[in-house]
Chain A
Amino acid sequence: MHLTCLPVGSRARLLHLFTDAFKSELLSVSFLAPLAAEQTQKNIMLLALSKRGTVSYPTQALLNRHLDEMYSTSVSSVGTRLGDREVLGFSADFLGRRYVGGEGLLPQVVDVLAELLRRPYLTEQGSYPAERVETEKRNLRDAIRAEINNPRAYAMARCLELLCPGEPFALPILGREEDVAGIDPAGLKARFCALQSEAAPVFCYVGAEPADRVAAYLFDAFDGYGGAGTPYQTVIRCGAETVRKEETTPLSQGKLSLGFRTDLDDVEAIAPVLVVLNEIYGGSPASKLFLNVREKRSLCYQCSSTIHLQKGVLCANSGMKPENRAVTEEAMLEEMRHIAAGDISKTEWEAAMRTLADGYRQINDSPAAIARFYTTRALRGVRESVDEWRDRVLGVTRDQVVALAGHLFLRAVFFLNGSGDAGEDDE
């Protein structure tokens, strides 16, 4: 797959990945914004309000009908973290030209993205409609509260907060419930105007249209949009103590989340090593956590680990009978100690490397995965292909993994205790 990088006006870039392997195509727009309590929540609100209606499609129903008529084009909003920054934007998935005829859907998709980013529906006075703002505030508040509906994700989020105190990364992506009340149409309009003049958009197109055609459509629709952009930033800090916190719910199972950080601050250099370490530790069904803590000791059904590469963070998670919490925690830590002691079998090493290689090759089979890979790198200012990244990961040595394990420290433990009161409620 060939990557072409083109400017779109003076402020935006297009990552063009030519492929005719798919029947659908993808066009996304993303940009960085600061992760800051006073802005992040408004940014998320703006994405939601854009999908409530635009100048050309003033209501949610009209916008969605238009997308349906575009052969079920789907547009999703993007609001996530990258290092200590927020990534905002939209991503559209649509049928390729050979299935819809004529000029294809690309010009219409570009128009919809421009509508969403540049032309939200406003009142005659030029502000966001108050009743829509109130509805979306209510939805945001509900979404923040609903985090507990997924106990595993909740435990992981609390663990990350304990792990990165005072860092932007620790800020919940939906913001804090107590801040929602202060959001008003005027503040949102001000934030919208700021983004219009500050954002440095990265467009990513995966499909069979030529790059200059895509760039021309984008230039017409986004001319004058954006500004210097928010530079990428990440904070690497290890801390000196392990912080522990516990909450209790009536659930029957406890959720344990262990947070590790490294004291090595060259995050680019350790990133591929952390990927391999995670794969061996808890990244797959061939990992130490799965095979030893789950399969051999039957302590839990779910036991795995994930990484936040740009923060040098590894988080291990499991769900177990609350009374097995201590023994499970010790079993999970023991597996990490084994890695630090060099106890990595040839089978474990080869399985991890093969699985990783397989996973990177599979990226080329998904327009969404391709776009995600190249967009996050472009936002970080890194130019690297999937093959180059794969080679870096596969070039990691066992000594590097062992050395990194010695520099990973348990710094946060969050336990969502289950009191078991759930029982067979109302049955």
Chain B
Amino acid sequence: MKRETKWFESDLLGERYSLTRHRSGLPIYVFPKKLTTTYALLAADFGSVDNVLPNGEIMPDGVAHFLEHKLFSNADGSDSFERFSAFGADANAYTAESRTVYLFSCTERFADSLAELLDFVTHPYFTPETVQKEQGIIAEEIRMCLDNPYNACFYGMLAGLYEKHPVKNEICGSERSIGEITPELLYRAYQTYYGLPNMALIVCGNVDTETVLEIADRHLPQSAAPYEEPVRRVTVEKPAAVTRLSVRHGQVAKPIFCIGVKDTGLPASPEERTERDVLLSVLNEMLFSPAGELYNRLYDANMISPGLSTDYVLTRDFGFWYLVGEADDPQAVFAEIERYVEEKQKTGLDPADFERCRRIEYAEYIKGFDATEEIANTLLSFVFEKSDYFGYADVVRRLSFEKAERLFRQFFRPEACTLSVVLPWDAPDKENTHE
């Protein structure tokens, strides 16, 4: 059967990649790149927020992450990590809110490693004994996360933004929730979310499309199995944040804080989401970067430590912006940031600043094509978002200052903000933990 391969090209970058839908149903992307390292990932559109089974049953927290750990164990008792090592490849995996990714990088024996990746991810094997053993390892990972003050601060922020949405729950789950995981549950989750049409294979490196497809032919089914797209639960959240302030204690020398803003204006189309993403990146640079007025005002007043960082996370069903920093008095910093935003919303932004920050977006986009790992993971984001990787440069070019100002005024609303703080163990709470 002749297969159709579609090519995407960028004159600006001098790069191109192919998409072939394999007869098993798996979309396969190959991004040729003349570097020594070839990087491959096989990802499921299944993350920690996807917790519903087809019968409506809600799974305990941490199932996606648990599956990620367990898939490396094979029916013959072997561990895929060891097999990758035997080929000289560096393998790993990660689970995020909306995806699970299995990956390897290598400089030789690519075919062996790709075959292993396709084999182990498509052949689940769970027993009560291996699940129980993994519960011990993951419990230690959970404790490690529990001890991480930045992690605690981040999840404090999410809990401050979301009342019900599962994004507020730790990706690993809790010791209690993983205790509820059984082999049967893992198989059901796997059957629900690991259908090949719900996954993507992305390869970037010194490799051609035909080579990848030939390996896929040998290690994937020759026809698509019946598969129903998983039902995604839509969680309706109030537009306002749940709490204004939450305070915890942790292993920090000086208070750390995370300010969050809930995005309740999620665009329906991928194109609009991409534009919103770029606009928020530009606004982040304009308002909060070390080149900006606010950062330097706070820094010169000794209100913050160096290293204020911001990010915006946007998926098809949740979006939030956050800012992380360290300060003696996080509440004073929060108040100062709110004052500054309010002031700017009244007086308006500077078009020259906008152009400077648009240039940053353009440069960072181009720099993102220097490493096979970065290319593959960024492409995956665009694939799962059903958006155009090479179209990003055009989106940056077409951005308008007026749109940026409009979004700035709509997005940063006081009622959508929350502040999460982690204080040193011995620091007294300044106020109640929850307002």
Please report A residues at the B interface, Cβ cutoff 8 Å. 21-24, 48, 59-61, 64-65, 67-69, 71-72, 93, 95, 99, 135, 138-139, 142-143, 145-149, 151, 249-253, 284-286, 290-291, 294-295, 298-302, 319-321, 347, 350-352, 354-355, 357-359, 361-362, 364-367, 418, 422, 425-427
Contact = CB atoms under 8 A, between A and B. Distances in A.
Given A294-B137, A301-B144, A284 B366 contact: no
B248 interface: yes
A357 B85 CA distance: 11
Contacts of B134: 298
30 contacts: A21-B34, A22-B370, A60-B299, A61-B293, A64-B289, A68-B289, A69-B359, A95-B366, A135-B299, A135-B300, A138-B302, A142-B254, A145-B253, A149-B253, A250-B251, A285-B92, A286-B84, A301-B141, A301-B144, A350-B86, A354-B85, A357-B108, A362-B36, A362-B105, A365-B35, A367-B370, A422-B249, A425-B248, A426-B247, A426-B429
B93 to A, nearest CB: 10
B357 A291 contact: no
B250 A142 contact: no
A252 B359 contact: no
A242 B247 CA distance: 42
Contacts of B105: 358, 362
Given A69-B356, A301-B144, A359-B90, A149 B362 contact: no
Contacts of A138: 302
B187 interface: no
B305 interface: yes
B136 interface: yes
A354 B82 contact: no
B190 interface: no
B224 interface: no
A349 B362 CA distance: 45
A252 B271 CA distance: 45
A22 B290 CA distance: 27
A301 B359 contact: no
Contact of A142 (B34, B79, B305): B305
Contact of B81 (A143, A285, A422): A285
B133 interface: yes
B296 A285 contact: no
B370 A23 contact: yes
Nearest to A351: B85
Contacts of A69: 356, 359
Contact of A68 (B36, B251, B356): B356
Contacts of B359: 68-69, 71-72
B82 A146 contact: no
A236 to B, nearest CB: 31
A285 B85 CA distance: 8
Nearest to A366: B371
A399 B373 CA distance: 36
B248 A251 contact: no
A142 B253 contact: yes
B146 A252 contact: yes
Contact of A365 (B36, B79, B86, B249): B36
Given A72-B367, A147-B253, A284-B85, 11 more contacts: A22-B370, A23-B13, A48-B306, A60-B290, A145-B253, A149-B253, A151-B251, A285-B91, A351-B82, A358-B89, A366-B371
B158 to A, nearest CB: 14
B128 interface: no
Contacts of B136: 298
Interface string B362-388: 111011011110000000000000000
B364 A72 contact: yes
Top-3 shortest CB links A-B: A354-B88, A286-B85, A145-B253
A295 B137 CA distance: 8
A396 B112 CA distance: 26
A144 B363 CA distance: 34
A425 B35 CA distance: 48
Contacts of B305: 139, 142-143
A148 B251 contact: yes
Contact of B291 (A64, A298, A302): A64
Nearest to A73: B363
A422 B147 contact: yes
Contact of B251 (A64, A135, A251): A251
B296 A68 contact: no
B360 interface: yes
Tell me what chain A mostly uses at the interface: helix, strand, loop, or mixed.
Answer: helix
A254 to B, nearest CB: 10
Interface in B129-183: 133-134, 136-138, 140-141, 143-144, 146-147, 149-150
A59 B146 contact: no
A418 B425 CA distance: 13
A298 B85 contact: no
A362 B105 CA distance: 9
Contacts of A65: 291, 356
Given A298-B137, A358-B90, A250 B425 contact: yes
Given A64-B291, A138-B302, A347 B253 contact: no
B252 interface: yes
A253 B356 contact: no
Interface in B350-364: 356-357, 359-360, 362-364
B87 A354 contact: yes
A351 B34 contact: no
A61 B291 contact: yes
B37 interface: yes
A138 to B, nearest CB: 6
A141 to B, nearest CB: 9
Contact of A148 (B253, B326, B433): B253
A266 to B, nearest CB: 29
Contact of B290 (A61, A139, A301): A61
B299 A361 contact: no
Contacts of B360: 68, 71-72
A69 B134 CA distance: 50
A362 B363 contact: no
B367 A23 contact: yes
B137 A301 contact: yes
Nearest to A145: B253
A251 B425 CA distance: 10
B231 to A, nearest CB: 31
Given A65-B356, A425-B248, A99 B147 contact: no
A151 B305 CA distance: 20
Given A23-B367, A71-B363, A425-B250, A364 B36 contact: yes
A425 B252 CA distance: 14
B106 interface: yes
Q: Choose among A149, A290, A298 the residue with the greatest number of B CB atoms under 10 Å from its CB.
A: A149
Interface string B335-362: 0000000000000000000001101101
Interface string B55-97: 0000000000000000000000001011011111111100000
Contacts of A21: 34-35
Contacts of B296: 59-61
B246 interface: yes
Contact of A355 (B88, B291, B299, B370): B88
Nearest to A350: B86
Contact of A146 (B291, B326, B357): B326
Contacts of B285: 68
Contacts of B92: 285
Interface string B220-263: 00000000000000000000000000111111111010000000
